[in-house]
Amino acid sequence: MSENIVHFEIKNKKAYLQINRPNALNALNKNVLTEIRDCCEILKDNKQIQVLIVSGSGDKSFVAGADIKELQELHNQNKEGENFSQWGAEIFSKLEQLPQITIARVQGFALGGGLELALACDFIIASEKARFSLPEVTLGLIPGFSGTQRLAKRIGSAKAIEWIVTAERYSATEALACGLVNHVVKSEDLIAFTEQIAEKIIKNAPLAVKTAKKVIQASEDSTFKEGCDIESKHFGLLLNQSESAEGISAFIEKRPAQF
């Protein structure tokens, strides 16, 4: 991470990944994507960090998409466009599969690849000034970092088609209404509110938190019955861990659990 385009910091069981190209509204160029990939490599085997907060620097933009100037260089380069899309999608998939709970903290624009980045996080907390759109069709393109798939899963395919083919820009409250974001808060409260949610998560039993994410994600590739079986298996595994021994004893002894 030599150029420091992505700021990565670890503080008390939490990691912070902040994209820092404010002059380009934090657009995702290849260096930024590479640094996001490197951060995922650091996080994937780390058992101490329980939450990752992803943000963009400055007030104006979370991330305004893939870097359009770099996209221009890929024009007419045979399979380069497909390769770029696949490469970026793999990085976002690494982010999605991290064991930590990942929160996109969105202020300002989350456009194109920026919205796709937020969608690869477990959930989104937005400021009231956040604006969401997949405007790729205005450039003669479609989303390429798995946004067609993740948006449809999150808000349903009818809404996703409308969003993508109109390239409309949506307010934070509209995004809340269709389930794209979990919370909308005043801009000045965004950081503190996100911290509060992160603190609630890190207070809980870490293995149980990690397992909950894994089991919920398993539902995407399984039938309801298979998902329930995965849930039961992991419930049983957790009940044999020292973490649940402590949580249950603490309840019975009327004291706070020490995880």
**The two structure tokens encoding residue 140:** 């003669």
Q: What letter represents residue 63's amino acid? A: V
Return left, alpha or beta for 142; rule: phi > 0 is left, psi -120 to 50 is alpha, else beta: beta
| Distances from the Cα of 62 to the Cα of 29, 45, 194, 246, 253, angstroms | 14, 27, 15, 40, 45
Using the minimum distance from each CB to ligand HXC, give the nearer residue, 69 or 153. 69
Using the minimum distance from each CB to ligand HXC, give the nearer residue, 99 or 108. 108
- How far is Cα 7 from Cα 114, in angstroms, rounded to an integer? 16
Closest alpha carbon to 101 in 171, 5, 170, 182:
182
Place of tokens 């595994």: 237
Candidates 4-12, 141-149, 176-184, 239-247; binding stretch for ligand HXC (CB under 6 A)? 141-149
Please, what is the minimum distance in Å from the beta carbon of residue 166 to ligand HXC? 14
Residue 85, number of CB atoms within 10 A of its CB: 19
User: What residues numbered 86-115 form the site for ligand HXC, per CB under 6 A?
Assistant: 88, 109, 111-113
Out of 116, 128, 168, 199, which one is annotated catalytic? 116
Using the minimum distance from each CB to ligand HXC, give the nearer residue, 64 or 198. 64
- Is 82 annotated as catalytic? no
Strand partners, 106: 126
Using the minimum distance from each CB to ligand HXC, give the nearer residue, 109 or 170. 109
Strand partners, 109: 61, 131
Residue 243 binds ligand HXC, judged by CB under 6 A: no
**The two structure tokens encoding residue 232:** 């039961």
Say which DSSP state 108 is in.
S
User: Are 128 and 184 contacting, i.e. CB atoms less than 8 angstroms apart?
Assistant: yes
Please, what is the minimum distance in Å from the beta carbon of residue 151 to ligand HXC? 12
Residue 206 binds ligand HXC, judged by CB under 6 A: no
Please, what is the minimum distance in Å from the beta carbon of residue 31 to ligand HXC? 13
Using the minimum distance from each CB to ligand HXC, give the nearer residue, 29 or 46. 29
Out of 96, 128, 136, 195, which one is annotated catalytic? 136
Residue 135 binds ligand HXC, judged by CB under 6 A: yes
- Is 9 annotated as catalytic? no
Residues that bind ligand HXC in the complex, under the rule CB under 6 A: 24-25, 27, 64-69, 84-85, 88, 109, 111-113, 135-136, 139, 143-145
Annotated catalytic sites, by residue? 116, 136
